[in-house]
Structure 1
């Protein structure tokens, strides 16, 4: 999450918002998979292009989020110091994680129950909600299961990791004298070298190799940290953290070039092609196929992250009030979207309409309703202060004091 100050980098706000809103569309697309994947419900209208969208989208949206989070986290750390930074993370990440679980868990469980019922031709909303409330008694078991709030848990983990590394280097003076210039030089080189993406993909590919599946695992089964996932997102977070130490260098990393576009297109094409071999464990070249897959997947991740940041910087060059409003609301949108998405997927599942129309309707309704709730009940309240750093005036439901007095007389 980002702390607001006098100098906002609107294009980074836009990139973070894009990553979170893309997550809403990603989850909304899950019911249109051509094969049943264990999601809450499977729509009667599916399409074979949905898995391709999911493969590419899932590769970089959270990586982009963690890189931007690392950038703004170091900015906050410099501004507030250790105690202020810890207080900020606990308030803006820890509190939404705990309270969000209690509020969203019953709705998500009820959605899963109703989804199973809908595929049998019957839905009992009251019973599903009651069962969802009963599941609250299982705390702390299944704390992350069935929710999307794992990203907050892992954000806390990588923040702690960054702080530990920072103080381990700082405490030992000889180490600090050697390591700090080395890190600064490495980041400087990575932001200007044509081979930066290829270098960055090496630790990323190493983490991907140890995932349970080809691609990035979703660590929502247990509170025990998933080591490959933690290391993967630590790489992006720490890169963003180090970038902010020399903030002018980010311009080099996000610069747009034809070589990045071409490399990205090749990596996406190869990754999609090789993904079909995941289940072919008996293939004589399976190990080599997986090795090529994780390397290309890592290149795809880094090029898509860099290009997204570059395009946002190109489009959002100066202050933009609309971008700032969407940025402020995007955290709330992502926190509450999943129950809305699942309930809408159940409502649309049996309708005889084209899958893309349904996907657009589910995504649009979810975002529209979430923004209305945000503007009316969150933005100007203590909840908005927790999520955004301070209370903000309503925009959509703005009522002046004079109008209020007139309507109450």
Structure 2
């Protein structure tokens, strides 16, 4: 293996660790919501704090943008290895399949936790009649936390459709060279402002946008909202095209401190404009405030994603058996975590402990159960091949050169 190939492999270990980290942070994000002093979650803890709001805000700003950037990069990588047919087959099995299979049991588990919570609150008193079951349509069906799988499928199809005419017409590579130069110019701190401008414009057009919650989550309906399509779609396409210029990863690594400072500055400005760490669920109406908040979120979204990628390349480039294991397990953990998080929140909501301890208890409990089930049921079975693209035998030697799971 050449030096450049070794460097390429080591860098992908860092990106794979980051991809897994974004999914695992979803557990912390959802677990923190019961401690935020605002009626934003179905479980409300007695020990609430603005500190939980800051934690939620910091994670929410960069997590999914970073995930979709990496998803775009890995998608281009897989497309180059397997071709369009192999790519679509793999994505349908490993992304579309889990959405179709796990949505029903996850939704049933969430409903069961809600019923249990209502019974606990009734404390033995007669419970009122259950509400009428909602009528769902394609525009209102709750995708829950699995919405990102549906969004990925849409982005995969969209990027293949957009790519097809350029691939046919660009026989001499002139368009490709132009795109490569544009990506090189955008993979910089000032590129965050350019890439964030369409997102800011889309947020400006949102009639009921609450800045504290960042990009509105497209978790209801099969037609994502405009801001999510623009924001997550732009970062996905950037990651897709970034894989054409893998040398630019070193550039992002070098710019990581500047991007981090820019992300913190823009994020802080957004938090102030949103009313502070105690979140306001009231949509912003002042035009000047809305414009500044939208611009701040646009910059913070891309600067934080760039910073996360650069820092992962810098500190997690080498192979680590533990990081690789957690990256593999993160997909399963994210799929099953939400009902368990809710159950944990219900169980401890009356405990007389400070919120950081209670948060740690919920997160640790969810991770313990998820990792045990992953090891016993998923990793070494056909489920491991389905979710991770490979089945790991019960006894095997660690392989430092394995490519990351897309």
Distance 2:283 2:391 in 1: 54
Pair 395,40 (structure 1): closer, same or farther in 2 beyond 3 Å = farther
Q: Tell me the CA shift for residue 254 of structure 1.
A: 3.2
Aligned residue for 1:127?
Answer: none
Distance 1:65 1:307 in 2: 13
Q: CA RMSD in A?
A: 2.9
Q: 2:100 aligns with which of 83, 98, 101?
A: 98
1:267-346 alignment to 2 at 5 Å? 267-276=266-275, 286-346=286-346
Give the conservation status (yes or no) of the 8 Å contact 2:139–2:223: no
Q: Tell me the CA shift for residue 181 of structure 1.
A: 2.2
Q: Does 1:205 align with 2:200?
A: yes
Distance 1:113 1:316 in 2: 43
Give the conservation status (yes or no) of the 8 Å contact 2:256–2:310: no
Distance 1:112 1:142 in 2: 23
Give the conservation status (yes or no) of the 8 Å contact 1:108–1:146: no
Aligned residue for 1:401?
Answer: none
DSSP-derived class of the 1:49 partner: helix
The number of residue pairs the alignment matches comes to: 380
DSSP-derived class of the 1:350 partner: coil
Distance 2:192 2:125 in 1: 49
Distance 1:269 1:236 in 2: 21
Give the conservation status (yes or no) of the 8 Å contact 2:35–2:44: yes
1:175-214 alignment to 2 at 5 Å? 178-191=174-187, 193-211=188-206, 212-213=208-209, 214=211
Distance 2:320 2:108 in 1: 37
Q: Does 1:147 align with 2:149?
A: no
1:214-233 alignment to 2 at 5 Å? 214=211, 215-233=214-232
The worse-fitting range, judged by mean Cα deviation, of 165-174 and 73-82 is: 165-174
Q: TM-score, normalised by structure 1?
A: 0.85
Q: TM-score, normalised by structure 2?
A: 0.86
The worse-fitting range, judged by mean Cα deviation, of 104-113 and 372-381 is: 104-113
Q: Tell me the CA shift for residue 194 of structure 1.
A: 4.6
Distance 2:39 2:282 in 1: 19
Distance 2:115 2:237 in 1: 39
Aligned residue for 2:262?
Answer: 263
Aligned residue for 1:158?
Answer: 155
Q: 2:22 aligns with which of 11, 19, 24?
A: 19
